[in-house]
A = this chain, B = another copy of it.
């Protein structure tokens, strides 16, 4: 089939499925999620065989051992997917929730939570994202079109087979979850321009992927982009606590989007803080501006590119600043509006930082690694939105819904 016919056909089928999903009961959706879990459990052998082909392909393609590890599905990881499906089934149904009620003169006005419609998810991640994204979309009454990374294509195809089997067993239109198993980037271009059929595209990945989606999209998108996370340590901070926060932010899991990439330190405390930080994480490569280098001789000079970089690695770039406004201006210029933090004991500085710095998550005296829907207690998430409209930060079930207004009258007329 022509790629265009394939994609348009998929979008039409999703649109049709989404109409059925609108009026589905919570019980029916939960039954589908539980049936998906059962199907994955029953097909472990097939899933692992498909995954072994992906891993073998990845090895031949020279993927790093870290990436190969992320790609590999063990029984424990399959158990994790099954548990995640059951968790999502146990959540309250967001659809139909009464967000607000007003009683203007003579009628009742309700603001009711509803599905968005057809959601395209584009990601470059572990195979479990396929399961979580499908489950969160179905639970929120949306039809999903999934397009995962090509390195996990075989695993995702097998997982989607289980998901659709679960949907069918629960009497739900199987086209509620579809998977784009064509590797072409052109498939993405076509998907994100199906105005009228697709309601939202959620791209989650690197700069190249995001840029492509933004350039080609005519449907709305919510981007899950990079995290160039900063911590600013002011002149009032508890330096011992700040050093622990910085180290945890940087090294606890450096490959994640909420890991620390840049450290900004007030000049009056830099001379004490920076040596402490260096001593606590000797394996981290430090880069710095001239004032940081003066304090830590031998530090590599930071280039202009360093200030923009998301390393996802054991590298940290350090700048000495003369105050909060200079730190905020730096973050405004170089940050990615994901997660930025302050270490301070001045409530005046904290409140100014929190209102001045325009990021999805602001951390106060805490590790940037705490910026996570799970840690926040918000439940399963499809990712962290770095956009400002509709959903910002952790994007879970509620962020996969919209609302409608229902005016219940009794023959009311406009005067």
Q: Are B407 and A366 in contact (CB under 8 A)?
A: yes
Q: Quick one: which of A259-275 are within 8 Å of B by CB?
A: none
Interface-centre pick from A252, A371, A409, A410 (highest chain B CB count, 10 A): A409
Q: Give the chain B neighbours of A19 by CB distance below 8 A.
A: 332, 356
Instruction: Give CA–CA (A410, B242) in the complex, Å.
Output: 10
Q: Are B404 and A370 in contact (CB under 8 A)?
A: no
A191 part of interface (Cβ distance < 8 Å): no
Minimum CB–CB distance from A316 to chain B (whole Å) comes to 16
Q: Are B389 and A200 in contact (CB under 8 A)?
A: yes
Q: Give the chain B neighbours of A114 by CB distance below 8 A.
A: 355, 358
Q: Are B411 and A241 in contact (CB under 8 A)?
A: yes
Q: A390-B390, A411-B245 are in contact. Are A404 and B352 (CB under 8 A)?
A: no
Instruction: Give CA–CA (A375, B415) in the complex, Å.
Output: 10
Q: Are B405 and A360 in contact (CB under 8 A)?
A: yes
Q: Which of A49-57, A171-179, A212-220 contacts B (4 or more CB under 8 A)?
A: A212-220
Q: A354-B406, A362-B404 are in contact. Are A388 and B102 (CB under 8 A)?
A: no
Interface string of A146-188 (1 = CB under 8 A from B): 0000000000000000000000000000000000000000000
Neighbour of A102 across the interface among B241, B376, B404, CB < 8 A:
B376
Q: Give the chain B neighbours of A238 by CB distance below 8 A.
A: 411
Neighbour of A406 across the interface among B22, B364, B377, B389, CB < 8 A:
B364
Main secondary structure of the interface of A (DSSP, over half): mixed
Interface-centre pick from A22, A238, A332, A370 (highest chain B CB count, 10 A): A370
A39 part of interface (Cβ distance < 8 Å): no
Q: Quick one: which of A363-403 are within 8 Å of B by CB?
A: 363-367, 369-372, 375-377, 387-390, 392-394, 402-403
Neighbour of A356 across the interface among B22, B200, B389, B392, CB < 8 A:
B22
Q: Are A366 and B412 in contact (CB under 8 A)?
A: yes
Q: A407-B366, A407-B370 are in contact. Are A102 and B218 (CB under 8 A)?
A: no
Minimum CB–CB distance from A372 to chain B (whole Å) comes to 8
Neighbour of A409 across the interface among B22, B370, B394, B404, CB < 8 A:
B370
Q: Are A405 and B22 in contact (CB under 8 A)?
A: no
Q: Give the chain B neighbours of A355 by CB distance below 8 A.
A: 22-23, 96, 114
Question: What 10 additional pairs, Cβ within 8 angstroms, besides A360-B404, A361-B404, A365-B412?
Answer: A22-B355, A107-B366, A200-B388, A220-B389, A359-B404, A362-B406, A364-B406, A365-B410, A371-B405, A392-B404
Q: Which 8 A-B pairs have the closest CB atoms?
A: A366-B409, A369-B414, A248-B413, A390-B390, A366-B412, A241-B411, A389-B390, A104-B377
Interchain Cβ contacts under 8 Å between A and B, 20 examples: A23-B355, A104-B375, A107-B370, A109-B377, A114-B355, A117-B388, A199-B388, A199-B389, A245-B412, A245-B413, A354-B404, A361-B406, A363-B407, A367-B409, A372-B414, A376-B407, A388-B402, A389-B389, A389-B390, A392-B402
